[in-house]
Structure 1
Amino acid sequence: MAAQKTLTPVHFFSHGSTMMLGEECESATYWKKCGDEAIAHGIKGVIMMGAHWDCLGDKIQVATNPKPNKSPVAYVHPSKYANYKLNPDIPTANRCVEMLKAEGFNAEANPNFDWIHDTYLILIRMFPGGCPPTTLVSMNARFDPHYHMKVGSTLRALRKENYLVIGSGGAVHNLYRNVWGPMLQHRDNFAQENPPEAWAMEFRQAVQDVISNNSGPKLRRGMTRLMKHPQYRDAHATDDHFMSAMFVSGAAGDVEDEGYYGELMAEDWELTNMCNSQYTFGTWGGSMREVA
């Protein structure tokens, strides 16, 4: 297990609604803690897959726009994000394209892509003092879990070079089943006038059970099985916010990762039925957590 100590942690973050960019909460506090730790350990950069960029056919793209714009964020004052300077890592992006091509992916650079809140929301909360060199990887619109897991597995080697791998999506993220009234009327995304519905609680717990009790290749198998869970389609009306979980399990589910279990580090419920769970796989010190 000594080799694990050379690997950076991997994060699966539920970015939630746009208001998570501006509101203080347990998740935001944890994101900042993760950013502080990454800076303290001198990361070379961030490799990130979000939930709002996907490619048609069999393609996958990596962002190489040297001066990307930021898509506007609803319900958040521009002062929270407009002046934050993005820091695209073009050399690492081109390297990721070549790594993916070598594994058979129809991968290409996208020199025109502008960043969306699913990624820069997390970066702002993690690194408020300045964005580290960051590489954004798209999803593929067929939403094949094994495809996205292989993307994570392909880029996993960058963990040994002190890059931080992050997936930004959602543990329970069905916009059609959220209760939007308090946010639309009162700008209160954390109002819980009623408890979450049973389907949301059930799938949230299923995610927790898989991540906390499986490591290495078993993690990968467990995560793909979640897409066959009876409440999966209730919890994810579309697959886009779960693909980054597959990406993360690819990056953190190698044989070399056996014995290193994901941990739930923070969580917030929004809009009654959206569960923003924040998971981390591995530690900077390489310590191992045993299953209870």
Structure 2
Amino acid sequence: MLTPVHFFSHGSTMMLGEESTSASYWKSCGDEALKNGIKGVIVMGAHWDCYGDQIQVSTNAQPGKSPVAYVHPEKYVDYALNPDIPTAQRVISMLAAAGFNASGNESFDWIHDVYLILIRMFPAQCPPTTIVSLNARYDPHFHLKVGSTLRSLRGEGYLLIGTGGAVHNLYRNRWAPMLRFRDNFAQETPPEAWALEFRQSVEDVLLKTSGPALRRAMTRLMKHPHYRDAHATDDHFMAAMFVAGAAGDAQDEGSRAVLGAETWELTNMCNSQFTIHSAV
């Protein structure tokens, strides 16, 4: 039995500070993971990337936390991180064996895209966690291969998570309510058509395809007419490629995906939360 794979849209920093249906869903996924005795978490975020052909894995045994804007420090400063160094070294070896220029990074401090999710999923205690970087060329096939290389760890009880965004274009968000009133959920107007259209396309891909078809459909989304409207930069969509790689093998044909929650922020940011369950 393989562990599920999650594609979580972490949204703005205020998703750590404010309650939402997404936060409730993250907690339910964490509870389920603990109930099933996961060995650890392997996560690819959106805020750490490497130049050239590099990909790195965090090997910092005592990482700090990057500050979180608009969130009171009591929400995160005392949360003890739990880096899984042995698994990090194993992941480096697996990636290197697959042809990646992979190495460890002993000075990387964790960023909110990762620990925001972990705090919401596992508020009592951080599980052993391994963080894998992006590559700054943002090649979708590169990140698919990263996910497919690490897919076998699902059979050993590791939970694989991509934390990015379904619709994440900071330039097209409506920031005024958050800046003036600290209200990230204000919807003074409906989301714009491009955001609704791309959001629906992401849902269609994840809920209506599986196996290798999922991988093909996910990469095609980067050619969607509204992709660049929905993602001014590619970083937050690479997590979806990682997830498609980890859950898009031929043996994953027929796997069941669910849209567990969805939270709109800043008018045009769509934080969709997807889980792909094992086909077995």
1:281 aligns with 2:276: yes
1:228 aligns with 2:223: yes
Aligned to 1:3: none
Aligned to 1:209: 204
Structure 2 SS opposite 1:190: coil
Work out whether residues 152 and 247 of structure 1, in 8 Å CA contact, stay in contact via their aligned partners in 2. Answer: yes
Using the alignment, how far apart are the partners of 1:147 and 1:241 within structure 2? 15
1:156 maps to a residue whose letter is R
Work out whether residues 214 and 261 of structure 1, in 8 Å CA contact, stay in contact via their aligned partners in 2. Answer: no
Aligned to 2:146: 151
Work out whether residues 211 and 261 of structure 1, in 8 Å CA contact, stay in contact via their aligned partners in 2. Answer: no
Using the alignment, how far apart are the partners of 1:150 and 1:105 within structure 2? 9
1:121 aligns with 2:116: yes
Corresponding residue pairs, total: 280
Aligned to 1:36: 31
Aligned to 2:194: 199
Deviation, structure 1 residue 261: 3.1
Aligned to 2:169: 174
Aligned to 2:53: 58
Work out whether residues 15 and 170 of structure 1, in 8 Å CA contact, stay in contact via their aligned partners in 2. Answer: yes
Using the alignment, how far apart are the partners of 2:210 and 2:59 within structure 1? 33
Unaligned runs of 5+ in 2: none
Aligned to 1:183: 178
Q: Identify the match of residue 240 of structure 2 among 238, 241, 245.
A: 245
Using the alignment, how far apart are the partners of 2:206 and 2:127 within structure 1? 28
CA deviations on 1:137-156 (whole Å, 9 max, x unpaired) are: 00000000000000000000
Using the alignment, how far apart are the partners of 1:69 and 1:203 within structure 2? 35
Deviation, structure 1 residue 204: 0.2
Structure 1 SS opposite 2:65: coil
1:141 aligns with 2:128: no
Using the alignment, how far apart are the partners of 1:195 and 1:173 within structure 2? 16
2:223 maps to a residue whose letter is K
Deviation, structure 1 residue 262: 1.9
Q: Identify the match of residue 98 of structure 1 among 93, 96, 99.
A: 93
Structure 1 SS opposite 2:134: strand
CA deviations on 1:200-254 (whole Å, 9 max, x unpaired) are: 0000000011111100000000000000000000000000000000000000000
Using the alignment, how far apart are the partners of 1:97 and 1:67 within structure 2? 19
Structure 2 SS opposite 1:173: coil
Q: Identify the match of residue 214 of structure 2 among 209, 216, 219.
A: 219
More deviation, 252-261/240-249? 252-261
Structure 2 SS opposite 1:91: helix
Return the TM-score normalized by structure 1: 0.95
Structure 2 SS opposite 1:267: strand
Deviation, structure 1 residue 50: 0.1
Using the alignment, how far apart are the partners of 2:155 and 2:178 within structure 1? 42
1:62 maps to a residue whose letter is V
Aligned to 2:255: 260
1:252 maps to a residue whose letter is A
Return the TM-score normalized by structure 2: 0.99
Using the alignment, how far apart are the partners of 1:218 and 1:265 within structure 2? 21
Deviation, structure 1 residue 263: 1.4
Structure 1 SS opposite 2:79: coil
Using the alignment, how far apart are the partners of 2:187 and 2:207 within structure 1? 27
2:120 maps to a residue whose letter is R
Using the alignment, how far apart are the partners of 1:185 and 1:272 within structure 2? 15
Structure 2 SS opposite 1:16: coil
1:89 aligns with 2:84: yes
CA deviations on 1:14-67 (whole Å, 9 max, x unpaired) are: 000000001110000000000001011110000000000000000000000000
Using the alignment, how far apart are the partners of 1:240 and 1:263 within structure 2? 23
Using the alignment, how far apart are the partners of 2:149 and 2:255 within structure 1? 19
